[in-house]
Structure 1
Amino acid sequence: MRASDAERERVAEALREAVAEGRLDMEEFEERLEKTYKARTHGELAPLVRDLPTPGVRTPAPAAPEASGGVDWPSRIGGEATSRGAFAFWGGFGRKGTWTIGRKFTAFAMWGGGDIDLREARFESAETVIRCFTIMGGMGVTVPPELTVRVRGFGLMGGFGDKATGEGTPGSPRVTVTGFALMGGIGVERKQRKAAKRGLGGTPRKELG
């Protein structure tokens, strides 16, 4: 949900009170304040005051584990991006594991390929756009079943596959995958997270499909 100017100002006031009470030092206060005024959504505001008393500040209630498919989305939204793009020329690239994707991520592959795996990733923003471009190459984007995804790419003498468009669980980030494939292929598909495959007791589950 988009944040209003009034909500940003309430968060800023909570930060000012926190630094006055000694809960934050000046460096951390200035860093959080800057992020507050740049925030566009509740998902970006919530982490800035999660560890502070914030009376009167409306932040999204965390979804129950059952409702969110066992994913703690609030803890995975916010923070500095570790990658905002990827490039491959006569080679390949991979982004997987517990990396943090930028709010805008651009990937390009020419005579090469790449993999973008969001199953264990963190998100700089609750709204993320992934732009994929390939020329005579291939690229794959893997997302978990709990993530909200829209795919809007196209192919020219190639293909832009979509097996992932759909709504995620409450509180999930919203990811848009766009771009084009020229004499190549880009595919977007859903796969279970490794932890979900193993199940709560560590026993592997059989993946459907």
Structure 2
Amino acid sequence: MIKTAPAPAAVAEGDIRASDADRDRVAEILREALAEGRLDPEEHAERIDTVYRAKTMGELEPVVRDLPAAGKEGARLGQEAYAHGPGAPVPDQNLVAIFSASVRKGRWQAPARINAFALFGSVEIDLTEAVFPQQQVQINVTAIFGSVEIRVPENITLRSSGSGVLGSFEVESNDAEDADAPQVVINGYAVLGSVEARPKRGAWIRDLRDRLWEGHRALRDELREERRERHHQLRQDRHEWHERLRAERHERRDRFRKGAGS
């Protein structure tokens, strides 16, 4: 009778090896918690150290268990590199410039719809460091004797269906190699004004992740140096305190000997 070998035991979810992308996502949750005041710098540094040392998913999960983002599909540990997915919708963003300027840039959550209106003014929309909670972002622009300028990361898809009326409507179309990459669609018109949209060369979504990772390392190193300096100062203060006590004991002993000999 032929005996069949037993099937190998399934690997528990917590025992699955963690990838660099998994560590990146946990580090991002910790960074948000630090920015919101949920963690102090020392707690953040300790948890980041744990993230760097983690080998499995089970070691990463406790690091964010008590943080709000941890409840969203296991801190989103198993998702792809992009942040879009189910969650609370981001409200529409309205940028208006009438004889003025309106700018939106830096790190921000891009909503599904952005409305830009420029009348004798200028609007600047910079998505190169934005987080994309959903895959598609629609930007509706109206430029009347004004200008709207849009910048996006190089590795997203950029589309347009706008037009110019005695003005310019220039959108540099771009196709991302990754089918899951965010898509930005620009609609609208320019009347005696201008609309310009193009990828910012060298600005990739993954670049932001790399910068955040470098920021975590810099903060960790800074906190370690501060702890080292505090530890050194405490040792020095303790040494001085012991020396002072020793000097006081010697002084009391000398006074006692002098009093006993008189």
TM-score (norm 2): 0.46
SS in 1 for 2:110: strand
Counterpart code for 1:109: A
Q: Which has the higher contact order (CA 8 A, sep 6+)?
A: 1
- The answer as to whether partners of 1:80 and 1:100 remain within 8 angstroms in 2 is no
Which of 193, 197, 202 in structure 1 is aligned with 2:203? Answer: 193
- The answer as to whether partners of 2:125 and 2:151 remain within 8 angstroms in 1 is yes
- The answer as to whether partners of 1:87 and 1:107 remain within 8 angstroms in 2 is yes
Counterpart code for 1:116: I
Matched residues, percent identical? 24
Q: Is residue 2:73 matched to residue 1:50?
A: yes
CA gap of 1:115–1:52, structure 2 versus 1, over 3 A, is closer
Deviation of the 1:176 alpha carbon: 0.7
1: CA distance between counterparts of 2:86 and 2:160? 21
More strand by share: 1
Deviation of the 1:173 alpha carbon: 1.5
- The answer as to whether partners of 2:97 and 2:118 remain within 8 angstroms in 1 is yes
2: CA distance between counterparts of 1:124 and 1:175? 13
Which of 152, 167, 170 in structure 2 is aligned with 1:158? Answer: 167
Question: Mapping of 1:26-45 within 5 angstroms?
Answer: none
TM-score (norm 1): 0.57
Which of 138, 148, 154 in structure 2 is aligned with 1:145? Answer: 154
2:57 match: none
Aligned length: 140
Which of 90, 94, 118 in structure 2 is aligned with 1:85? Answer: 94
Higher-Rg member (1/2): 2
Deviation of the 1:140 alpha carbon: 0.5
CA gap of 1:136–1:107, structure 2 versus 1, over 3 A, is same
Which of 98, 101, 111 in structure 2 is aligned with 1:102? Answer: 111
Q: Which runs of 5+ in 2 are unaligned?
A: 1-69, 215-262
Deviation of the 1:102 alpha carbon: 1.5
1:136 match: 145
- The answer as to whether partners of 1:116 and 1:140 remain within 8 angstroms in 2 is yes
SS in 1 for 2:83: helix
Question: What value does the CA root-mean-square deviation take over the aligned residues?
Answer: 3.3
1: CA distance between counterparts of 2:86 and 2:105? 16
